[in-house]
Amino acid sequence: MSTNSNTGEKLVDKGSVARHDVSAIIAEMDERGYCVIPGVISPEKADEARTVLEGLLAEEATEGTWRARTQRVARIAVKDPIFVELMAHPLIVSIWRAYLDEDMICSTWTSNTAYPGFSRYGWHPDFPFQFVNQPWPTDNVSGQTMWLLDDLTEENGGTGILPYSHLKGHRPPEEIRQEWIEEAEILTGERGSVMVMSGKTWHSARPNVTDKPRSVLLGMYCRPFYITQEDMRAQLADLENPSELVQQLMGANQHQPGVVANRY
């Protein structure tokens, strides 16, 4: 693998954009609310990322982790260069620039691991639609990226997704949040695949009934006029020589509020 001196500018997988039809991916996202893209990275690359993540999971696990049977690792961009590389992956950046606009940013970049015995989490949209007044605006303002670091199956916690729900314009009603919806699908795929999804799409976490954990990376991208979920900008100081792209994704160009002086 070749690389230049800037963090986030590794040259691996540069051909990924050419191998994939970005307009077709976005068309499927617009129609169904999500799209699964096989083989964005090799299984070996996914294994490399998972091995790094496993070390972080061991370091950061708490008693609460084992009770909940699930674990997140936050600030993941500053914990290993491989995560910066994936956050700024050329195909993913191309998709979200086309879907959200050239100035889009990363709202949060974390991992999610479901351990054996994890139960479920009910239907919900993603940021910022937990908070946006209903009916929702029709334009695209956010999107979720899920990197599969393990093969995802119906048994180990494959995400439940309700196709076309991004067109409903509202959150799931409380009375159905914990119920399985007949029209829903369960996301499955091989490690190295990526799922991209509208921030409006209803989805749910499914039980892991196997004897092994399953891990994914979650990258939320949004328009720059939203306050990000994670303070991505604050993490830039912990990166050595971040590229211009990484700086943009982590909010370096985002407007920062100031003090209005009385000039008169």
The CATH number of whichever domain residue 225 belongs to comes to 2.60.120.620
- Dist CA 224 CA 175 (whole Å): 34
- Asked whether residue 261 is domain-assigned, the answer is no
Nearest to 114 by CA among 46, 203, 216: 216
Contact 111, 46 (CB under 8 A): no
pLDDT (0 to 100) of residue 12: 42
- Dist CA 156 CA 178 (whole Å): 18
pLDDT (0 to 100) of residue 14: 53
pLDDT (0 to 100) of residue 259: 80
Of the two residues 197 and 5, the one the predictor is more confident about is 197
In tens, the pLDDT along 127-152 reads 999 999 999 999 999 999 999 999 99
- Asked whether residue 11 is domain-assigned, the answer is no
Q: Which domain holds residue 153?
A: 16-249
- Asked whether residue 117 is domain-assigned, the answer is yes
Tally the domains of the chain: 1
In tens, the pLDDT along 107-132 reads 999 999 999 999 978 999 999 999 99
- Dist CA 123 CA 73 (whole Å): 22
- Asked whether residue 91 is domain-assigned, the answer is yes
Average pLDDT, integer, range 80-88:
98
**Does residue 215 have a pLDDT over 50?**
yes
- Asked whether residue 255 is domain-assigned, the answer is no
- The answer for residues whose C-beta is within 8 angstroms of residue 94's C-beta and 6 or more apart is 17, 22
pLDDT (0 to 100) of residue 263: 64
- Asked whether residue 1 is domain-assigned, the answer is no
**Does residue 84 have a pLDDT over 80?**
yes
Look up residue 217 and give its two tokens: 């990376």
In tens, the pLDDT along 12-58 reads 455 567 789 999 999 999 999 999 999 999 999 999 999 999 999 99
pLDDT (0 to 100) of residue 15: 58
Of the two residues 257 and 57, the one the predictor is more confident about is 57
Chain centre to alpha carbon of residue 235: 17
At 66, the pLDDT band (50, 70, 90 cuts) reads confident
- Asked whether residue 3 is domain-assigned, the answer is no
- Asked whether residue 185 is domain-assigned, the answer is yes
pLDDT (0 to 100) of residue 121: 84
Mean pLDDT of the chain: 92
